[in-house]
Amino acid sequence: MAAPNRGQIGWIAVLALMLTLPLWASGSISTVVLILIYMSASLAWGFLAEYGGIVSLGQQVFIGLGMYGMIIFGTNMGIPMIYSIALSAAMNVALALALSTVIFKLRGAYLAIGTWILAEAFELMFTYWGYVGAATGATYEVAYLVPLTDVYYALLILTAGVAALIYYLYETKFGLGIRAVGSNEDVAKERGVNIALLKTIIFVFSALVSSLVGSLYILYNAYVSPSIAFSITWIVTLIFVNIIGGRGRIIGAAIGSIIYVAIVYLTTGLSEYSLLIEGLIIIAAWFLVRRGVWSLIADRISIKAPL
């Protein structure tokens, strides 16, 4: 940060603009909600990938369970919305804790494959689970009563919270520890970093954020089916945003999400080619700028990670 004062003014301005957005741009809220959904989920994924060294291809398990939690607890059991969100999050945290004992036995490609298959298994399971509507999916009726602005503010708080946490953690001892794990696990271990604990904390944290994103997504969309909840598209999105924005970078995630949503809108008529297009962009971006398009610009105007 070359000029901290200017930086602070910038942040306050962005925050003010975002807070008053429903007043002056109510028509675009639905788009901004999507951008925030992708941004917060991408931050959680990038945090896991860049700082934990864990490239998960199964993050949609937590997003999907965040959605289905609302069906299980809200629609089926009639538990009020806020408690349903909390229960879904608790369910995901428990799952992440249980999973962390298994998946940290894997590394690199094996970990990625393991998490990917896990997501696939969850999709199959929910496709045959009649209690949550099987393949046809289910609707969370309460979502129709929630104004879009409320969803927007909840997402804004979530995204800002995650961003602030990443920002302030970066230079702390804990933050240094996790960055060490991300860059070289073996060296970090030798220097006395408790890897198992750190990785578990990061993994659980990103599961928690993903769960909240999922629960808020269903307030926006109201409907969920196994192919929406556990779709591979989620992970493509998260990778896309992180490759464009630079892994685990806050402003990068915002820019990446905006570009992603723009591309989705531009290619609405070509949805059957969407994975092809996004995949090609990911490869092209990776070849051109390994550390993300945003990192390149950020270096020029001397904005440092994790921003």
Residues that bind another protein (CB under 8 A): 49, 53, 55, 57, 101-102, 105-110, 112-114, 116-118, 120-121, 124-125, 127-128, 232, 235-236, 239, 243, 272-276, 278-280, 282-283, 286-287, 290
> In terms of CB distance, is 41 or 212 closer to another protein?
41
Q: Which are the contacts of 250, defined by CB distance < 8 A and separation ≥ 6?
A: 43, 163, 166, 167, 306, 307
**How near is the Cβ of 86 to another protein at its closest, in Å?**
28
**How near is the Cβ of 15 to another protein at its closest, in Å?**
32
Q: Which of 74, 47, 34 is nearest to 205 (CA)?
A: 47
> In terms of CB distance, is 20 or 101 closer to another protein?
101
**How near is the Cβ of 228 to another protein at its closest, in Å?**
16
Contact yes or no for 245/40 (Cβ under 8 A): no
> In terms of CB distance, is 139 or 274 closer to another protein?
274
Contact yes or no for 40/162 (Cβ under 8 A): yes
> In terms of CB distance, is 79 or 289 closer to another protein?
289
**How near is the Cβ of 151 to another protein at its closest, in Å?**
29
> In terms of CB distance, is 53 or 245 closer to another protein?
53
Contact yes or no for 67/215 (Cβ under 8 A): yes
How many Å apart are CA 201 and CA 236, to the nearest integer? 24
**How near is the Cβ of 32 to another protein at its closest, in Å?**
27
**How near is the Cβ of 237 to another protein at its closest, in Å?**
11
Burial class (CB within 10 angstroms; exposed 0-12, middle 13-18, buried 19+) of 158: buried
> In terms of CB distance, is 74 or 133 closer to another protein?
133
**How near is the Cβ of 300 to another protein at its closest, in Å?**
21
Dig out the tokens for 276 from the structure: 């092809």
SS3 56: coil
How many Å apart are CA 301 and CA 307, to the nearest integer? 12
Lookup result for tokens 């992708």: 38
> In terms of CB distance, is 15 or 124 closer to another protein?
124
Burial class (CB within 10 angstroms; exposed 0-12, middle 13-18, buried 19+) of 18: middle
Residue 43, H or E segment:
helix 29-46
